[in-house]
Amino acid sequence: MALPPSPGRGLFLLPGFGQLSVKLLLVGAGIFLIVLIVGLTGKLATYRGRRAIVRRWNRLHRWEFWPPYFFYPPVILYIAYLGIRFRGWTLFTAANPAITAGGFVGESKYEILGHLKAASSWLPAFTLLASEEIAPRIAYAEEFIRKQGLNFPVVVKPDAGQRGSGVSIVRSSEQLREYLTHASYPVILQEYVPGEEFGVFYYRYPGTARGRVFSVTEKRMPVLLGDGRRTLEELILADDRAVCMAEFYLRKNSERTQNVPAAGEGVQLVEIGTHCRGAIFLDGGDTITPALEEAIDRIARCFDGFFFGRFDIRVPSRQDLMAGRNMKIIELNGVTSEATHIYDPKLSLFDAYRVLFRQWRIAFEIGDLNRARGTHPTPVRALFQAIREYRRLAEGYPA
Which DSSP state fits 4? P
**Distance of alpha carbon 318 from alpha carbon 216, whole angstroms:** 11
CB atoms < 10 A from the CB of 312, how many? Answer: 20
pLDDT for residue 163: 80
pLDDT of residue 21: 63
Q: What is the pLDDT along the chain (399 residues), one digit of tens a residue?
A: 444 544 444 444 444 445 666 666 666 666 665 655 555 555 566 878 888 888 888 888 899 999 999 999 999 999 999 999 999 999 999 999 999 999 999 899 999 999 998 999 999 999 999 988 999 999 999 999 999 999 999 999 999 988 878 899 999 999 999 999 999 899 999 999 999 999 999 999 999 999 999 999 999 999 999 999 999 999 999 999 999 999 999 999 999 999 999 999 999 999 998 998 899 999 999 999 999 999 999 999 999 999 999 999 999 999 999 999 999 999 999 999 999 999 999 999 999 999 999 999 999 999 999 999 999 999 999 999 999 999 998 888 886
pLDDT at 44: 62
What distance in Å separates the CA atoms of residue 189 and residue 145, rounded to the nearest whole number? 9
DSSP secondary-structure letter at 283?
E
325: helix, coil or strand? Answer: coil
What distances in angstroms separate CA 52 from CA 34, 46, 57, 322, 362, one per listed residue? 20, 10, 9, 40, 41
Is the CB of residue 309 less than 8 Å from the CB of residue 341? no
The DSSP 8-state label assigned to residue 309 in this structure reads E
Alpha-carbon distances of 230 from 35, 259, 289, 324, 348, rounded to whole Å: 33, 8, 43, 42, 34
Is there a contact between 61 and 244 (Cβ–Cβ < 8 Å)? no
E strands present in 6-137: 126-129
Is 156:187 a contact under the CB 8 Å cutoff? yes
Please compute Rg for the chain using Cα positions: 26
- Other CB atoms closer than 10 Å to residue 101's CB: what's the count? 22
Supply the pLDDT for residue 28: 63
Q: How far apart are CA 161 and CA 163, in angstroms?
A: 7
| β-bridge pairing 196-203 and 280-283 | unpaired
Q: Distance between CA 338 and CA 310 in Å, rounded?
A: 7
Q: What is the largest CA-CA distance in the chain?
A: 102
Write the DSSP symbol of residue 130.
Answer: -
Q: Report the alpha-carbon distance of residue 115 to residue 315 in Å, rounded.
A: 21
For the chain, which domains are there? 68-124+195-213+281-393 (no CATH), 125-192 (3.30.1490.20), 223-277 (no CATH)
Contact between 398 and 182 (Cβ < 8 Å): yes
pLDDT of 45 reads 61
Q: Do residues 243 and 51 lie in contact, with contact meaning Cβ atoms separated by under 8 Å?
A: yes
- Residue pair 124/110 in contact (Cβ under 8 Å)? The answer is no
Pairing verdict, β 168-170 and 154-158: antiparallel
What's the rounded Cα separation, in Å, for the pair 345 and 351?
A: 11
Task: Indicate the pTM of the whole model.
Answer: 0.86
In DSSP terms, 38 is beta-bridged to: none
